[in-house]
Each structure stands twice: as structure tokens, then as C-alpha cells.
């Protein structure tokens, strides 16, 4: 494509880094952008906590529009202290009430163990303050995440917390029963 009216963007596209490419895309995005005049408070009053996985297009997969929700993502969609921080701000300052957790099949964290952390310490001489939060059973990991949200003392609303596993091959969500034990789960 060399139809851009922006010569700098064209120059970046031919020899730049991936970030240059993204900045280039933004110039095109902004060219057609009109201020939607939205409030910062999510329209659907929901916060979605999901894995950072590149195959998970949350807005498309959940039918979300601009302004609908808060999106909080990290490796695994794990409910860490920092996710609780974001959820607390989301609920107390920006009016959300519901929490949706989305983990997925084929997550990178399934192939890691806490050894990752120890190897890291051996390599750099410093132990990370964070846990890897690796897991073997994605259903159980979703249950643990739901439990962490439900039991947080900082949140105003913990009655509507639901957890799902997104299948990266079918695009379908599967809801996780928060009360089912992993050993007795028929699935």
C-alpha cells in the first residue's frame, strides 16, 4: 500500500520496526476517527479479566463495542494483586458491577512451572517478587481466579462473577461451575 497521504508513515512502513508499523496504523485509524463523546464509565458496567493470548480477540468474541467494558489482561488472566487493584478502581471509581473471567485452551502458562521463577533467579541473581501462576488444570485455575475476586475485601460487587474457558480452535466459551471440584468434573 502506498496510498497513504502521510509520507512519514510510508517511510516507516518500508524500513521500520513493528512499533513503527503500529504507529503508522494509528495514523490511519485517527484519520477516520470521530470523538464518540463517551464517558469513561463502561456502558455495560462490566470488567473482563482475560489472558493476554494473541488469539483471543475479546471485543469480537464477546460482541463488545467501544466503551462497553474494562479490559484487564495479563499472562493467564490470573487474578493477581494488580488485577484486584484494577478491579477495585473499576468498581469504586468507574461504576462497574460485573466481573467476567476468560481463560483459554492452549495457554502458555500450562507449559510452565514455578521452576521458571527459580531459573530466572539463577540467571539474573534476583528472585522475582511475583509468582509465575503456572497451572495444569485450566478449569481449576478459573475457579481459583473466581474465588480470589469473590473474597477480595476491596471490591464493592462480588455477586456477579463468572468464569469461562475460551476454546481457541472453535471460538466458543465454556462456563466453569465455581463449585465443581476438579476431580468430580465430568468434563
| Residues within the interface to Zn ion (CB under 5 A) | 51, 53, 107
Q: In what order do the strands lie in the sheet with 98-104?
A: 69-74, 46-51, 98-104, 161-166, 173-176
Nearest residue (CB) to Zn ion, 51 versus 100: 51
Q: How far is the CB of 103 from Zn ion (least distance, A)?
A: 7
Q: How far is the CB of 20 from Zn ion (least distance, A)?
A: 27
Query: Which helix (H) or strand (E) element contains residue 12?
Result: helix 7-15
Angle among Cα 23, 29, 35 to the nearest 5 degrees reads: 120
C-alpha span between 118 and 162 (Å, rounded) = 33
Q: How far is the CB of 152 from Zn ion (least distance, A)?
A: 22
Q: How far is the CB of 57 from Zn ion (least distance, A)?
A: 13
**Cell 482475560 belongs to residue:** 50
Beta strand spans in the chain (E): 46-51, 69-74, 98-104, 161-166, 173-176
Q: How far is the CB of 8 from Zn ion (least distance, A)?
A: 36
| Bridge partner residues of 73 (DSSP) | 50
Nearest residue (CB) to Zn ion, 107 versus 165: 107
**Cell 510510508 belongs to residue:** 10
CB atoms near residue 99 (< 10 Å) = 29
Nearest residue (CB) to Zn ion, 68 versus 110: 110
Nearest residue (CB) to Zn ion, 91 versus 145: 145
Nearest residue (CB) to Zn ion, 72 versus 107: 107
Amino acid at each position: 500500500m502506498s496510498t497513504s497521504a502521510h509520507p512519514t508513515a510510508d517511510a516507516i512502513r518500508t524500513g521500520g520496526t513493528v512499533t513503527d508499523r503500529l504507529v503508522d496504523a494509528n495514523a490511519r485509524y485517527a484519520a477516520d476517527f470521530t470523538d464518540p463523546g463517551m464517558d469513561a464509565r463502561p456502558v455495560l458496567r462490566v470488567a473482563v479479566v482475560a489472558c493476554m493470548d494473541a488469539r483471543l480477540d475479546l471485543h469480537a468474541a464477546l460482541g463488545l463495542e467501544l466503551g462497553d467494558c474494562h479490559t484487564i489482561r495479563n499472562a493467564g488472566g490470573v487474578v493477581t494483586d494488580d488485577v484486584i487493584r484494577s478491579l477495585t478502581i473499576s468498581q469504586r471509581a468507574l461504576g462497574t458491577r460485573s466481573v467476567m473471567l476468560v481463560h483459554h485452551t492452549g495457554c502458555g502458562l500450562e507449559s510452565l512451572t514455578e521452576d521458571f521463577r527459580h531459573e530466572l533467579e539463577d540467571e539474573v541473581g534476583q528472585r522475582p517478587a511475583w509468582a509465575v501462576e503456572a497451572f495444569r488444570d485450566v478449569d481449576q485455575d478459573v475457579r481459583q481466579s473466581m474465588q480470589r475476586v469473590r473474597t477480595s475485601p476491596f471490591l464493592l460487587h462480588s455477586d456477579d462473577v463468572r468464569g469461562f474457558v475460551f476454546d481457541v480452535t472453535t471460538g466458543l466459551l465454556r462456563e466453569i461451575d465455581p463449585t465443581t471440584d476438579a476431580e468430580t468434573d465430568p468434563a
